[in-house]
């Protein structure tokens, strides 16, 4: 006993002298703690995946020792960025198929498809990413040219936003769509009584239910590749905005084997299978993966005139589409309430936003700490902004949507409705918080493009020159909070991540270049990214 205490005294003296031993020290840095005071410290000590201390250079270097001491050479360190709304699964699928992102014309799309088919020789050609607003045309395309070039192979090409699809005649025949096919919450577009090959929203399920899907092995590999690409940009947390149970199982398997290091907050579509999962598992946590929310698609997208508007579009007779009946919406909210699950509702049009805000107002007002989220909140009627304050519904938006859609948004909805569109400053002021994501693969997941879009209201080509609806810009501090602490709150993780305070997880990114906001877009990257103290990306390795 006496020998033991003697040894412990010696050990104590030694540890006082050398400082407490930790796993990692990062020093000579600009550590943005992202606390209320927006403190900046110089050094941080990390042990067992947690932040032991963060403080001035000398305090940390004198107080602690570590085998791994990283001199950050004055680089900026932030809590790892969240993408509060992304689609890893959609991107993983896109990577197996023809990528049509950024194609500049219909004919360029056709050439790309020819090239893809020459290399891959598929029985079905599946593609995603086209955006007709880049082709200098206003109307959605039809399948005339597609039919000429590919008369026999069934083809399905999803628009960049995932809410419209162009299919050729061979696919129409394969699936068995006719003039009289009707889909609740979907549109099969006709012109002069003839199918054009464009289908919207729930009608897309007619195709997806019948075409071959990529194999699990390919999808898993793609997810892990995406994860690494996200780490290289400092992203440590993705809110995966809608999974079917089969898709969720892939993430679950990757999390179980510890291959999924990326913190993944999976929102489940409220299918019977997913509701049964939620009833059985409640709040589910498996290493990096957590589940406690449903994703509810209330309407379509603005770009394909599917977003549900109170009055018709300015350039079309349609009001858009409500994808769920109001009684189904209420049922999902009540199910979620009984399971203490969050509901994250995709609402783009002013009607969709109003329906959901009113439903939350009447059904959920008494629910403590519900954290219901409105995803996109893209066009909000001026009378409805107040509900983001009174109901506590958190706006979860994508600043790069504003700087992509600026080319056609006014044509679609007109100048007066534009005042309530992409209104991030107003939304944040009403609620007190706002969450930022990208909706990738609709937009790039590049967080520095998000910062530029939020602060300067310009895209990475610095367009439009004077910014789009600049009155709705937010400052850099608001932007960073929307990508760190507030997004952590939006997925119930604020006690673990979101700031670099003592006791929280050492989940952070060291940026390669100083984070500055200038008039011109400045690319940036992660120099190093850590999750729970584990270095998951480093430029040096």
The greatest distance separating any two alpha carbons of the chain, rounded to the nearest whole angstrom, comes to: 97
DSSP-derived letter for residue 74 is T
Of the pair 309, 397, the CB lying nearest Zn ion is at 397
Q: Which is nearer to Zn ion, 233 or 241 (CB)?
A: 241
Out of 50, 324, 384, 439, the residue judged to bind Zn ion by CB under 5 A: 439
Only one of the segments 24-32, 273-281, 434-442, 445-453 lies at the binding site for Zn ion (rule: CB under 5 A); that segment is 434-442
Structure tokens at 181: 């096919």
Minimum Å gap between C-beta 266 and Zn ion is 13
Stretch that binds Zn ion, among 17-25, 102-110, 354-362, 435-443 (CB under 5 A): 435-443
Of residues 47 and 159, the one with the C-beta less far from Zn ion: 159
CB of 87 to Zn ion, least distance (A): 6
- Applying the rule CB under 5 A, the residues between 199 and 258 that interact with Zn ion are 241
* 71 SS3 class: strand
Considering the rule CB under 5 A, would residue 423 count as an interface residue with Zn ion? no
By DSSP bridging, strand 508-511 and strand 526-531 are antiparallel
Number of residues that bind Zn ion (CB under 5 A): 2
Helix residue ranges per DSSP H, 320-446 = 326-339, 350-363, 387-390, 399-405, 409-418, 424-431
Q: Which two tokens stand for residue 89?
A: 């699964």
Residue that has been written with the tokens 């960025």 in this structure = 81
Residue 267, phi-psi category: left (phi > 0), alpha (psi -120 to 50), beta (remainder): beta
d(CA 473, CA 219): 37
Indicate the residue among 398 and 507 with the shorter CB distance to Zn ion.
Answer: 398
171 binds Zn ion (CB under 5 A): no
Determine, following the binding rule CB under 5 A, whether residue 384 of this chain makes contact with Zn ion: no
Q: Is 160 in the site for Zn ion (CB under 5 A)?
A: no
Q: How far apart are CA 363 and CA 372, in angstroms?
A: 12
Tell me the C-alpha distance between 74 and 514, whole Å: 9
Cβ of residue 428: shortest distance to Zn ion, in angstroms? Answer: 20
Min dist CB 322 to Zn ion, Å, is: 17
In the shown chain, the binding pattern of residues 67 to 86 toward Zn ion, with x for contact by CB under 5 A and - for none, equals --------------------
3-state class percentages of the chain: helix first, strand second, coil last, to nearest 5: 35, 25, 40
Closest CA to 228 of 194, 254, 253: 254
Task: Give residues 281-320 in contact with Zn ion (rule: CB under 5 A).
Answer: none
Q: Which is nearer to Zn ion, 388 or 440 (CB)?
A: 440
Residue 42 or 439: the one with the smaller Cβ distance to Zn ion is 439
Binding site for Zn ion (CB under 5 A): 241, 439
């Amino acid at each position: 006993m006496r020998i033991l205490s003697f040894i412990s005294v010696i050990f104590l003296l030694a540890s006082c002298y050398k400082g407490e031993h930790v796993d990692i020290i990062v020093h000579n840095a600009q550590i943005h703690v992202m606390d209320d005071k927006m403190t900046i410290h110089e050094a941080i000590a990390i042990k067992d995946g947690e932040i032991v201390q963060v403080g001035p250079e000398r305090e940390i270097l004198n107080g602690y020792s570590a085998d791994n001491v990283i001199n950050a050479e004055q680089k900026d360190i932030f809590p790892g960025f969240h993408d509060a709304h992304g689609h890893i699964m959609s991107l993983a699928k896109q990577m197996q198929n023809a990528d049509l992102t950024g194609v500049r014309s219909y004919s360029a799309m056709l050439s790309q498809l020819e090239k893809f088919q020459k290399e891959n020789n598929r029985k079905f050609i599946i593609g995603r990413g086209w955006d007709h607003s880049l082709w200098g045309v206003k109307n959605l395309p039809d399948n005339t040219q597609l039919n000429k070039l590919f008369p026999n192979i069934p083809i399905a090409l999803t628009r960049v936003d995932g809410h419209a699809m162009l299919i050729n005649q061979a696919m129409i025949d394969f699936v068995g769509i006719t003039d009289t096919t009707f889909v609740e919450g979907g549109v099969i577009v006709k012109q002069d009584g003839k199918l054009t090959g464009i289908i919207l929203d729930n009608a897309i399920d007619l195709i997806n239910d019948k075409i071959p899907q990529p194999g699990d092995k390919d999808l898993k590999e793609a997810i892990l590749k995406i994860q690494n690409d996200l780490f290289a940009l400092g992203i440590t947390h993705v809110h995966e905005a809608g999974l079917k149970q089969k898709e969720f199982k892939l993430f679950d398997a990757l999390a179980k084997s510890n291959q999924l290091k990326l913190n993944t907050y999976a929102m489940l579509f409220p299918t019977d299978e997913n509701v049964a999962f939620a009833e059985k598992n409640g709040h589910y946590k498996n290493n990096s993966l957590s589940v406690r929310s449903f994703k509810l698609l209330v309407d379509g997208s603005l770009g394909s005139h599917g977003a549900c508007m109170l009055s018709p579009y300015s350039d079309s007779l349609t009001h858009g589409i409500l994808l769920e009946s109001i009684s189904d919406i209420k049922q999902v909210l009540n199910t979620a309430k009984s399971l203490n699950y969050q509901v994250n509702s995709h609402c783009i049009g002013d009607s969709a936003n109003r329906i959901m805000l009113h439903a939350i107002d009447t059904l959920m007002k008494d629910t403590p700490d519900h954290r219901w989220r409105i995803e996109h909140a893209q066009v909000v009627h001026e009378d409805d902004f107040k509900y983001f304050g009174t109901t506590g519904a958190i706006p979860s938006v994508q600043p790069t949507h504003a700087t992509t859609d600026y080319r056609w948004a006014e044509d679609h909805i007109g100048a007066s409705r534009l005042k309530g569109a992409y209104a991030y400053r107003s939304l944040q002021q009403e609620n007190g918080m706002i969450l930022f994501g990208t909706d990738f693969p609709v937009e790039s997941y590049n967080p520095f493009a998000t910062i530029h879009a939020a602060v300067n209201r310009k895209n990475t080509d610095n367009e439009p020159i004077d910014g789009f609806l600049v009155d709705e810009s937010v400052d850099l501090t608001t932007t960073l909070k929307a990508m760190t602490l507030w997004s952590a709150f939006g997925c119930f993780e604020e006690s673990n991540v979101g700031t670099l305070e003592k006791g929280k997880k050492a989940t952070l990114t060291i940026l390669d270049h100083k984070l500055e906001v200038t008039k011109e877009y400045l690319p940036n990257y992660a120099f190093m990214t850590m999750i729970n103290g584990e270095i998951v990306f480093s430029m040096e390795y």
